[in-house]
Amino acid sequence: MTIGSGGSSVVVPRNFRLLEELERGEKGIGDGTVSYGMDDGDDLYMRSWTGTIIGPHSSVHEGRIYQLKLFCDKDYPEKPPSVRFHSRINMTCVNHDSGMVEAKKFGMLANWQRQYTMEDILTQLKREMAAPHNRKLVQPPEGSFF
C-alpha cells in the first residue's frame, strides 16, 4: 500500500502491511468463501499463513473446502508469496505433484504488483476454479492432501 498526495508517496513497511492483512483476514472477507490467517502467532516475521477457499457454485469444486499454505518471505509484498495447496486439487495452474501454484500459469503471481494481497490471491484462485478450463476437471477424492 502506498500513501501520499501530489508527487510524493510513502511505502508502508512490510510488517505494517502484514498486520493490516491479518486484521482483515481475522474479520472475515466478503461472502466468507475465502479466509486466511497466520499459522503461528509467535512468528515475529509473519511469514507462514494458511488460507481456505470454499469451492465455487456450479463447478466440480462446489461445497469442497480447500486448504492452502502461503509463505511471505522477507521481500513480500515487493515479490509474491509462494502459494501451495495442501488439499489435493486438479487445476491448470497447480503442480499435480507438489500442490504449488505455478506463477507462470497464474497471472496474478506472474504479473505481481505490490498492492496485491493474500486476499486477492485467494479470491483469484476461487475465480480460476470456476473458469471454463477448470470447472469440470476430474478432482481427487475429497479429503486427500499433498
pLDDT digits (tens, 9 = 90+) for 16-62: 999 999 998 888 777 789 999 999 988 889 999 999 999 999 999 99
Give all domains of the chain, ordered by start, each with its CATH number.
2-130 (3.10.110.10)
Separation of alpha carbons 77 and 75, rounded Å: 6
Instruction: Evaluate if residue 5 carries a pLDDT over 60.
Output: no
Which pLDDT score, from 0 to 100, does residue 130 have? 96
pLDDT given at position 31: 78
Question: What is the reported pLDDT for 8?
Answer: 60
Q: Count the neighbouring beta carbons within 10 Å of the beta carbon of residue 146.
A: 18
Residue 74 corresponds to which cell in the numbers above? 522477507
Q: Give the confidence band of 1 by pLDDT, cuts at 50, 70, 90.
A: very low
The pLDDT value recorded for residue 94 is: 98
Strand, coil or helix: what is 126?
helix
> Are residues 56 and 48 in contact, defined by beta-carbon separation less than 8 angstroms?
no
pLDDT, tens digit (0-9, with 9 covering 90-100), for 103-143: 999 999 999 999 999 999 999 999 999 999 999 999 999 99
Predicted confidence (pLDDT) at residue 4 exceeds the cutoff of 70 = no
Other Cβ atoms within 10 Å of 31 Cβ, number: 7
Do 48 and 69 form a contact (C-beta atoms < 8 A)? yes
Distance CA 123, CA 103 (A): 16
The model's confidence at residue 11, banded by pLDDT at 50, 70 and 90, is: confident
DSSP character string of 65-104: EEEEEEE--TTTTTSPPEEEESB----TTB-TTT-BB-GG
The size of the chain, in residues, is 146
**pLDDT score recorded for residue 6:** 52
Tell me, what's the pLDDT at 7?
A: 54
